Structure 1
C-alpha cells in the first residue's frame, strides 16, 4: 500500500520547491493532495477494541507516538475522501454562503494535518502541537451540521428541489455526516487521552469508550436529561418504565456518545409526543424502555403512547430534504443546540447507530404510539466502523438519474370519480 507521504513527496505541491513546505501552501486548493491521498491510501475501518488498544498498549509516550503516526495519515485521508464528494453536489448548492464557509473549514483543517506528515514523532513538542491542532480542528468543525443544513435550506429556498437532487443530497449527507462522526471519534480518542485532562469522575474511561459500560444506567441518565428539558418546556413529563433482560449486564467497550445521543433524541421525541397527545389527561402514560443483550445484538426499545405517525411518513422522517422544522436564527452562535431547528435528529441518530454496524428503526401505530428500536453490536470486536469509500461506485451514484417508477403509485389527492359516471 502506497502511503500519502510518499506520493506527496513525488508530486510537489504548487507554490513550493520541494513539496514539503505544506504549511505555507494556504492560498491554493490542495487538488494534488486530494488526488494522492484519495487514490493511493485506503480507509481502514477500526473496531472499538482497536481504538482502545492502539492508544493503551505500551508506555504512555510510545502510545502517543503510535496514535500520532496513525492519525497524521488517516485523518487527511478521511477528510480528502469526503471533500472529493462535496464537488459532486449541485453547483448552485456549492455556491451558497454556508457551503463556501464549510469548504473553507475543511481545506484549512486538511492543510493543518498535512503539515505533520514529515514531522518527527519522537519530538514531544510536535506531539503536543498535534494534540492542540486536533482540538482546534474539532472546535472549528463544531457547527458543521447546522452549517451544512443551512446551506440546504438556502438552496431549497432559492431553487426548489427535484427527485434527482433530493436523492443525491440524501446519499451525500448520509456519507458526509458519517465521515464527520468517524473523524471526530478518532480525534476525540487521541485528544481526550493525551491532552492530560482525563475526567477524574470516570477514571476507567478510554477516551469516549467505557470498558465497563452499564447501558441501563446510561439509558436512565439520558432519560433524566430529556425529562429535565421536557419539564422546562411543558411543565410536565412522563415517567420511565424500564426493564432489562438477562439481568444486570455490562456490554464492554461501548461508546458513550453513540448510546447517549440516540437515546436522548428518542426520549425527547417520545416525551413531546406523549405530552401533546395527552395534554388534558391527569396522568401521562409512561415511556417504556426494554434493554436486552443477546449473543449478537444489544437492543434498546423505547416505546411511547404519543399517537404515532402514518406509515407513509416514516421514511420521510429520515430525510434531510423534507424537514419542515424552522431553521435557527443564528447558526454561528455556539450555544445553539447542534440539531436545533433543522429536524436532523432522527437521521443523525440512525448514523450514530450504523457507525458501529448497528441500526435505528421506527415502528409506529397511528392513533396509539411509536417504538424506536436501537440495535448495537454486543461484542466490541464486531463493533467495526462503517465508513464511506470514495470510488467509482460512489461517482456513478451521483451521475445516475432517477428512473421512472415501474409500479402504479397513487396520487396525493384522491381522484374525483364523479366526472366518469355515465349520464342518463
Structure 2
C-alpha cells in the first residue's frame, strides 16, 4: 500500500494523473528542481506549455519509481530477515594466517554472506523512518547506493573469484565514504518534519554504527592481503595510543591554524609508553573530532589573546580491562543549559550552530584529508557520532564541564584481549 500511495502522491504533485489540477504540483516541482523563466501574456499565465508539462510528468514518474522501489525489494526483504553474525575482534586477531591463503578465502566467504544481510538491515531501518523523511532525495540517494551494491554482492565467491570480490568490497568503501555527510545533509533538509527525536537518534546510532562495523570488516579483509608484520588485517598488534594521538594533533593543529592563525600547544601525559592490540580505524574517526572541538573552544574563548592561549592536555590511562583517553581544554566550558544536549544530533547550519563550540563540527568546510580522516562530516554530528562509535566498541564517551574554566572529555574503550569478553563488530 505504501509504494502505491507514494506513486499516487508524486503523480498528483506532477499533474500527470488524469483529471487532477496540476498547478500546485508544478509549482512545488519547479521550486525544488529548476527555475522557471517568467512568462508574459494572459494565456501564458494560465497555462503551461505541453513540453513543460511533459517534463514535470517525467520527473514525477522517475521520483515515483525511486520511492516505490524504496519499499519494494524482495531480495532485500529476504536478507533483512536473516540474523547478522558479529565476530569478536579477538577472534579476528588470533585467527592467524595460512601459507596457502585459506584465511583470506574464509574471510571472503564470511563477508559474502554477511555484507548483504547487514546492508539489508540498514535499508530496512531506512524504511522505518517517517515517510516524508524517508523520501528526502538525499536520504534516498544513500539507500540507492546501498541497494546497488547489495545486488552486486550476490556473486559466487571461491578461490578464483576472490580477486573480483575484493574489487566489490573496495567499491563498497568508496561508494559509502560520504554517507555520514549525506545523512547530515538529508536530516538537516528534513529537520522541520522531525517530531520524534528519540526515533531519529536511535536510527542514526544504529545506522552509523552498522556502517562502522561494515567498514571495519571490509577494511580487515582487504588488509589481509598485505604483508605487514605489525598488523593482522586491520588490527595493529602493538598500537601506541600516544602515536595515534600525535598524528591527529598535527592534523587538528593545521586546521586550527588555517582558521585562527594559531593553535594551542598539546601536551600528552600518562601511560605514554602503553602498547596493545587494537584497531586504529575507530580512533581515526573519534580523535580528530575531539581534538578539533578542544582546540576550537580554546581559540574561541581567547580571541583577544590568540597567541597566548592555554594548552590542551591529553592524558592516557591503560589497564587490563580498558584504556582511557582524556582531552582537557581551558575553553570556558559548556553552558549549563546545553550540557545535556551536546551528545544529541543537531541538524543546523554552521552559522546557526557556531555560537557554541561544542554543537557543531566547525572544520567541515576545510577538512579533506582522505577516506580515513573525513568521517563525521555534517553539522552537529561530531560528538554524537563519536559517542555512538565508542558505545559500539564496548566503551563510552562522556563530557565533564566546568563552566567558566574548561571541559574534560573522556573516551573509554575496551581492550580486544583484556579481561572479560571482547566486543563484537
Report the TM-score when normalising by structure 2: 0.74
In the TM superposition, what is the alpha-carbon distance from 1:207 to its structure 2 partner? 3.1
How many residues in Structure 1 have an aligned counterpart in Structure 2? Answer: 342
In structure 1, C-alpha distance between the alignment counterparts of 2:157 and 2:125, rounded to whole Å: 32
Partner SS for 2:166 = helix
In structure 2, C-alpha distance between the alignment counterparts of 1:112 and 1:343, rounded to whole Å: 33
In structure 1, C-alpha distance between the alignment counterparts of 2:397 and 2:343, rounded to whole Å: 10
Q: Which is worse superposed, 129-138 or 370-379?
A: 370-379
Is 1:128 matched up with 2:168? no
1:215 maps to which residue?
241
Is 1:31 matched up with 2:77? no
1:249 maps to which residue?
274
In structure 1, C-alpha distance between the alignment counterparts of 2:256 and 2:229, rounded to whole Å: 31
1:318 maps to which residue?
343
Partner SS for 2:341 = helix
In the TM superposition, what is the alpha-carbon distance from 1:241 to its structure 2 partner? 2.0
In structure 1, C-alpha distance between the alignment counterparts of 2:380 and 2:204, rounded to whole Å: 14
2:263 to 221, 237, 255: 237
Question: 1:43-69 deviations in whole A, cap 9, x for unaligned?
Answer: 222222222344x33234211110111
1:51 maps to which residue?
92
In the TM superposition, what is the alpha-carbon distance from 1:230 to its structure 2 partner? 1.1
Aligned ranges 1:273-292 → 2 under 5 Å: 273-281=297-305, 282-292=307-317
Structure 1 residues not aligned, in runs of 5+? 1-26, 387-424
2:402 maps to which residue?
365
Is 1:270 matched up with 2:303? no
Q: Which has the higher contact order (CA 8 A, sep 6+)?
A: 1
Q: Is the 8 A contact 1:304 1:370 kept in 2?
A: yes
Q: Is the 8 A contact 2:221 2:233 kept in 1?
A: yes
In structure 1, C-alpha distance between the alignment counterparts of 2:347 and 2:365, rounded to whole Å: 19
Q: Is the 8 A contact 1:287 1:305 kept in 2?
A: yes
Structure 2 residues not aligned, in runs of 5+? 1-68, 353-363
CA RMSD of aligned residues (A): 2.8
In the TM superposition, what is the alpha-carbon distance from 1:353 to its structure 2 partner? 1.4
2:412 to 375, 383, 400: 375
* Cα separation, partners in 2 of 1:216 and 1:330, compared to 1, 3 Å: closer
Report the TM-score when normalising by structure 1: 0.74
Q: Is the 8 A contact 2:112 2:157 kept in 1?
A: no
In the TM superposition, what is the alpha-carbon distance from 1:30 to its structure 2 partner? 6.8
